[in-house]
Every structure is written in C-alpha cells, then in structure tokens.
Amino acid sequence: MIEVLTSLAALVAGVVIGFSIRKYITESKRKEAQSTAEKILADARKQAENIKREAQVEAKDHLHSMRVEAERELKSRRSDLQRLERRLMQREELIDAKEKEAEKREKRIAAWEEHLKNQEMKLAKAASEQKKLLEKIAHMTTEEAREFLINSIKDEVKRECAMFIKEEEARAREEAEKKARKIISLAIQRCASEHVAETTVSVVPLPSDEMKGRIIGREGRNIRTFENLTGINLIIDDTPEAVVLSSFDPIRREIARITLEKLITDGRIQPARIEEMYEKAKAEVENEIREAGESAVFEIGLHNVNKELVRALGRLKFRTSYGQNVLKHSLEVAHLAGIMASELGLDPKIPKRAGLLHDLGKAIDHEVEGSHALIGAELAKRLGESNQVVHAIEAHHGETEIKTIEAVLVQAADAISAARPGARRETLESYVKRLEKLETLADSFEGVEKAYAMQAGREIRVMVQADSVDDYQSAVLARDIAREIEEQLDYPGQIKITVIRETRAVEYAK
C-alpha cells in the first residue's frame, strides 16, 4: 500500500515536475519565439519599407517615363492635329474658292441658257421661215420632201443590193462553172431531144457565106443592133448561104425578114442603115396588113367596117392558131356561118360578119390580159359593132351563155373549121401563148420600154428606159423579172433574162 502510495506520490511528483519542466520549457520557447517573431517582424517591416521605397522609386521612374512618353505622343499628336488643321484650312479655302467659282459659273450658265433660249427662239423662227421658203421654192410640203428622201434612200439601198447581188452572182457562177459543165456533159450523153421548127422561124437566103460576117459586123455591133431593133433572134450557123430568123411574133419576124432582105440587096450593113431599112420594112408590113384586112372584108362582102378593125383583121394574116392561119380560119368560119344561115333561111350578113371577126382578139391578146374572145368582143363593141356581132364573138368559146342563133352558127362554124383533118396542131398555140405571156410579164415592170422573147422562149431581152433605170437597177430588174417568171410560168429548162440599157447622144452639124 505504502509502495503504491509511494509510487503514486512519485508519479504525482513526476507529473508535477514534468509539468513544471514542460511549462518552463514552453515559457522559454514562447519567449524565444516571441523574440524571434518580433525580430522577424522588425526585419519584415524593414524589408517592407525597403520594398516600398524601391516600389516608390520604381513607380516614380515608371511614371516619369510614362509622362515623358505621353508628352512625346501628345506632342506628336498635336503636330499631326496642327498639320490636319492646316490641311483642313487649306481645303476650306479651296472649297470656298470653288464655291465662288461655281457661283460665277452658275451665273455664266444662267446667262448662256438665257442666251441659248433667245437663240433657239430665233432659230426656230428662222427654221420656220426657211421651211416655208423651201416649201415655196420646191413646191413641196414637208411630208412630200420626207417621202422623196425615203424614196432616194430606197433607191440607194437598191443600188447597193444590186452591187452585192452582182458580185455574189459572179462568184457563184465561177464556182458552179466546173460542176455545171460536168452535169451538162452527162445530160447530153443521156438525153437527145428532137427539135421541130414550126411556123416560128423564117429562112433568109444569102448570096454567099461572106455576107454572114458583114451581118455580124465588127465586134457584133450589126447583129446586136438588128436583134435589139426588131426583137427577133438572128441565128447564124453552119447552114450554107442562109440565116434563120426566130420569133414567136410573126409580124415582128416578117418585118425583120424584109429588113434583112433589103440590107442584103443594098449591101451597106451598118447600125444607121439597119434602122433606116427597119422603118421602111415596118411601113411595108403595115401596108400589107391594111391590104390583107381590106381584102378579107371585100371577100366576105362586108360594109361600114371600122379602119382599126380592118387593121386588126390584117394582123391575123401573120398569126397562127394550133398551126392554122387565123385570117384564113376566120374567112373559112365566115363562109361556113353564112352557108349554114342561108340553109336555115336566115340573113347571112350577121353570121358572116361575126364569123370573120370572131378571133379578132388574137390580134391584140399579147398586149391585153384575158381571153381572146372577150378581148375581141370588147374591141368590136368599142369600134361600133352591133350587139349581135359582139355577143357572137364573146360566146364562140362558151365563156358566156349563148342567146342568139347567130352565136350558135359562129360557134359551130368555128368548130368545123378547127376540126377538119390537119387544120391545127396543139403544140404551136401553147408555145405562142407562153411566149406572149413571157413578154407581157416583162412589160409590166416599171421602166421597161420593150421586151422580146427569143431563142424559142429560152431568152427574153428587156429594153429599159435609160433615164429611169440605171446600171445597178438593171441588175435588180433582171432578178425581179426572173423571180416573177419562176412564180407565174411553167416552162422547161431555164430562161435567160437580158436587160439592155442604151444611152444615145445625137447631134447634127449644120
């Protein structure tokens, strides 16, 4: 127990001693730590003061440098601003100067506008006066002058088109020539056509073949003059001591034949002599026409026939229908109609008169469009024939309703005369009609003086008025005629259109 107590007391004493020692040690450490802390704090304060001083110095230096930099930048910006201010001032001065100049210019423009208005009014007044003066001088209104100018421009455009067409045609002709020769040679090898000369040619005998060269003339001037004057085609080939005159118009061909025979007899063949002989031959043929008409009227026993009707009857002497001479056919119809009227107990005068005149229209049907029956009836009516005769003429082909016995007799006589064996051939009539229509078509164009169908209808020569058609318009005219022929006519092969423009100057030495 004592030991326990002793141990306990020792333990307590040890605890007390340990606590005292620990307290002492702790107090000493605390004091030491406090001293150290105060020292550290003093050092920290010193260090903080040093850092503060250094920071203050550094801040002052940085502030100074920033101030210097700011002052430098401020000075630079101030100089820039001053420079900009100077430029702005200069620009303002320039703008002010321009504004002043613009104001002056506006004033000048306003003055010029006023001046121009006055001038415009004066010019308008002068133009109006000049227009009235020009209209008075030209005897032409503004619309007429405008139309004249448009027509002039049209003519110029046509001329340029004609030049272009001519150039293109020449180029195309050159390119096609080789191929055309080949095609033609092959066609000749494969085809041979029979040519029949009906009553469209006349053969003129020559004293010798030497005369052919004289007819042709130097560089062909004689034959050109002859063909252009007579409107026929003069064929000079290898036929010994003979030339051929070809034309569908028998009167024209007869005039040409007589002209050529006179030239051969005279021996002087030149353009002036050709014209002289042509006029003489024309007068002879006109006299022959008159005599043939009078002879026909006398044979039938008619009276009081108009001279123009007599001349038209005479022209029928040179006209054929289906290979039958029209004047002889008319005489035959007149006799037949008269005989039939007598057999019926009627007066034969009216049927004979109507029978003789029934084909009168064929004398002028190449000059007037329409049926020869209606054309003849219109001509007979205009020249004083009775209504019975006119009706018989217009009804002999059934184009109008038959109303009289005389018309029936004329129609029957016409059929009898045409129906007898060998009286007519269809080919010639259709051929002549085609050539007449070809000439009529060409004559319908403005500026055409004469048109002649030649080469059996394979060529048409068109004589134009030199004062109304120039060289370039001639090319346009040839193309227009070709286009019209293509549209209106049916024909074999091709037709050559030759436009001839001739200018003559004649003066007499006195």
Give dist(CA 505, CA 40) in Å, integer.
Answer: 147
| Residue at token pair 């007599």 | 310
Residue spans of the domains in the chain: they are: 22-104, 140-189, 199-300, 318-424, 426-510
The predicted pLDDT at position 200 comes to 66
| Residue at token pair 């009804």 | 395
Give dist(CA 405, CA 392) in Å, integer.
Answer: 9
DSSP annotation of 493: S
Alpha helices (H) in 358-386, listed in sequence order? 372-382
Q: Which CATH superfamily, name and number, covers 426-510? A: Cation efflux protein, cytoplasmic domain (3.30.70.1350)
Tokens of 272: 């002036």
Phi, psi (5° rounding) for residue 375? -65, -45
Fold of 199-300: Ribosomal Protein S8; Chain: A, domain 1 (3.30.1370)
> E-assigned strands of 85-132?
none
Residues whose CB falls within 8 Å of the CB of residue 3, separated by 6 or more in sequence, listed in order: none
Q: What is the pLDDT along the chain (510 residues), one digit of tens a residue?
A: 666 667 777 777 777 777 777 777 777 777 787 888 788 888 888 888 888 888 888 888 888 888 888 888 888 888 888 888 888 888 888 888 888 888 888 888 888 888 888 888 888 888 777 777 776 676 666 677 677 777 777 777 777 777 777 777 777 777 766 654 554 344 334 323 332 334 567 788 888 878 888 888 888 888 888 888 888 888 887 777 788 888 777 888 888 888 888 888 888 888 888 888 889 888 988 898 888 888 888 888 888 888 888 888 888 888 777 667 888 888 888 888 888 888 878 888 888 888 888 888 888 756 666 778 888 888 888 888 889 988 888 888 877 888 888 888 888 888 877 765 444 444 455 667 777 888 888 888 888 888 888 766 778 888 888 888 888 788 888 888 888 888 887 766 678 888 888 777 777 776
| The 496-501 sheet, strands edge to edge | 448-454, 459-464, 496-501
Tokens of 371: 């049926």
Residues whose CB falls within 8 Å of the CB of residue 340, separated by 6 or more in sequence, listed in order: 351, 409, 412, 413
CB 198 within 8 A of CB 425: yes
The predicted pLDDT at position 187 comes to 37
CB 203 within 8 A of CB 242: yes
Cα-Cα-Cα-Cα dihedral of 140, 146, 150, 151, to 10°? -10
The predicted pLDDT at position 322 comes to 65
Q: Is 201 helix (H, G, I), strand (E, B) or coil?
A: strand
The vertex-83 CA angle with 86 and 91, nearest 5°, equals 35
CB 282 within 8 A of CB 256: no
Q: 199-300 with 318-424: one CATH topology?
A: no
CB 351 within 8 A of CB 368: no
Q: Which residues make beta-bridge pairs with 202?
A: 245
* 322 Rama sector, left if φ>0, alpha if ψ -120 to 50, beta otherwise: left
Fold of 318-424: Hypothetical protein af1432 (1.10.3210)
The predicted pLDDT at position 504 comes to 73
For the chain, helix (H) and strand (E) counts, in that order, are: 14, 8
Q: Is 262 helix (H, G, I), strand (E, B) or coil?
A: helix
